[in-house]
């Protein structure tokens, strides 16, 4: 091949490669520009969407807060996220479902030390059908001891307790539901009271009472007795009769066996840890809801059985509420004004029997008593200062 033609060919090949490189660079730069433009549009789109969503959420939240029926809105005057509001809720009104309430109340700190000066309190939980005919007696019992107790009332939803703003019972009704004796609704109400009381982190002991209950000792004695106890006071025993084991359903197998079945008084007193165990349980309570129906009564069997199965070492296996079953029948005796004497109250306080208190024997076994009719109020008030000492 002649030398001139070879040089021309090499020159053409060099130009071709240069064109290819320049073309690649042009495409590459164009791709970068297109990518940046696209990214900018996408970011703008999602940013606007996020702002719209945030605005929508903020508006909805603002609406829910402003349109709610709670005592106070979150504002500059009320710090809704303060430690005090979290630890000691003063407004018992809320719109939580039972499921939400039990979940919230089941929270327990792992840290033993408290970041605030904690005075342990006793939660007095009243499960009532409405009015409190013995209210003046309880008001006298509580007077002067406000730092050491909390009160919770579970009443029919439509009932409003009309008391003075100076009464310790003022504003202490919790969000309640209808209750029917002998059904699981009664046990629901007990757990609802426990859960609402657990929201206050100062509550250390929890006692269930009815509108027909009275205290048989003064407040300092009751407080010292309960706060100083190592154990909870839940009656739990094996009853081989048809009123005990006879109420057991084999449909509860294999989770609950007959030898684990227990019976006990509805009127319990328990430590905070035990209360958390009770309201946190779903599995076993569901079994009672399904299979413990009249003539099986969940309020007499669920807590005694559950504690016997899992937390028996925390329980004294007795009640601190006295009741008179001497008349027989499904309900205890009712005591009216004619029954109320100094000797009668003293017989409840020191009834001649011994019980265990922190591994020692004591004659002071009962702190409360039931059932007392409205007609007993005047006689009880006359004896409160001399016998019950309050």
Q: What is the pLDDT of residue 63?
A: 31
Which one is predicted more confidently, 264 or 113? 264
Confidence of residue 31 (pLDDT cuts 50, 70, 90): low
User: Given this model, what pLDDT does residue 362 score?
Assistant: 96
**CA 342 – CA 87 distance, rounded (Å):** 42
Q: Given this model, what pLDDT does residue 19 score?
A: 57
The answer, yes or no, to whether residue 60 has pLDDT greater than 60, is no
* Residue 72: per-residue pLDDT: 45
Supply the pLDDT for residue 80: 62
What is the percentage of the chain residues whose pLDDT exceeds 70?
A: 79
287-308: pLDDT as tens digits: 999 999 999 999 999 999 999 9
pTM given for the model: 0.80
Instruction: List strand residue ranges (DSSP E) for the chain, in order.
Output: 121-127, 149-154, 203-210, 214-215, 269-271, 321-322, 355-357, 360-362, 368-369
Q: What is the pLDDT of residue 388?
A: 94
Q: DSSP assignment, residue 175?
A: -
pLDDT at 58: 38
- Residues 337-379 pLDDT 10s: 999 999 999 999 988 889 999 999 999 999 999 999 999 999 9
Asked if residue 64 has pLDDT above 60, the reply is no
Question: Using one digit for the tens of pLDDT, what is the confidence trace for 110-160?
Answer: 888 888 889 999 999 999 999 999 999 999 999 999 999 999 999 999 999
pLDDT at 77 (0 to 100): 60
CB 269 within 8 A of CB 232: yes
Q: Which residue has the tokens 């005592």?
A: 71
Distance CA 164, CA 161 (A): 10
Most confident of 47-56, 176-185, 251-260: 251-260
Secondary structure in 3-state letters for 71-111: CCCCCCCCCCCCHHHHHCCCCCCCCCCHHHHHHHHCCCCCC
Average pLDDT over residues 212-230: 98
Domains and CATH numbers, the chain: 83-321 (3.90.550)
Distance CA 318, CA 264 (A): 8
Q: In the block, which residue shows the tokens 């000797």?
A: 343
Rounded to whole angstroms, the Cα distance separating 215 from 122 reads: 14
Bridge pairing between strands 149-154 and 321-322: unpaired
């Amino acid at each position: 091949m002649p030398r001139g033609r070879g040089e021309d060919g090499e020159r053409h090949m060099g130009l071709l490669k240069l064109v290819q490189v320049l073309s690649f660079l042009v495409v590459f730069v164009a791709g970068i520009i297109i990518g940046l433009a696209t990214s900018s549009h996408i970011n703008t789109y999602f940013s606007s969407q996020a702002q719209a969503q945030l605005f929508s959420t903020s508006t909805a939240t603002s609406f829910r807060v402003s349109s709610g029926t709670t005592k106070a809105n979150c504002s500059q005057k009320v710090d809704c996220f303060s430690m005090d509001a979290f630890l000691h809720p003063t407004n018992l009104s809320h719109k939580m479902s039972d499921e939400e309430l039990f979940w919230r109340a089941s929270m327990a700190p792992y840290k033993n030390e408290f970041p605030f000066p904690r005075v342990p309190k006793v939660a007095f939980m009243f499960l009532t059908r409405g009015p409190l005919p013995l209210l003046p007696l309880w008001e006298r019992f509580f007077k002067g001891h406000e730092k050491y107790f909390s009160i919770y009332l579970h009443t029919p939803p439509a009932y409003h307790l009309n008391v003075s703003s100076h009464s310790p019972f003022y504003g202490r009704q919790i969000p309640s539901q209808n209750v029917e004796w002998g059904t699981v609704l009664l046990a629901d109400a007990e757990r609802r009271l426990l859960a609402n009381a657990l929201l206050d982190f100062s509550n250390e002991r929890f006692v269930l009472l009815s509108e027909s209950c009275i205290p048989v000792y003064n407040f300092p004695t009751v407080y010292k007795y309960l706060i100083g106890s190592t154990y909870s006071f839940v009656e739990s025993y094996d009853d081989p009769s048809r009123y005990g084991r006879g109420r057991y359903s084999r449909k509860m197998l294999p989770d609950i066996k007959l030898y684990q079945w227990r019976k006990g008084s509805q009127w319990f007193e328990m430590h905070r840890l035990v209360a958390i165990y009770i309201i946190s349980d779903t599995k076993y309570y569901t079994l009672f809801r399904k299979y413990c129906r009249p003539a099986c009564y969940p309020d007499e069997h669920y807590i005694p059985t559950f504690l016997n199965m899992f937390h028996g070492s925390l329980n004294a296996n007795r009640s601190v509420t006295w009741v008179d079953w001497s008349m027989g029948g499904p309900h205890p005796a009712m005591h009216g004004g004619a029954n109320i004497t100094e000797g009668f109250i003293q017989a409840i306080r020191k009834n001649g029997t011994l019980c265990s208190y922190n591994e020692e024997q004591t004659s002071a076994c009962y702190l409360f008593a039931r059932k007392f009719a409205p007609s007993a109020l005047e006689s009880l008030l006359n004896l409160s200062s001399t016998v019950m000492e309050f």
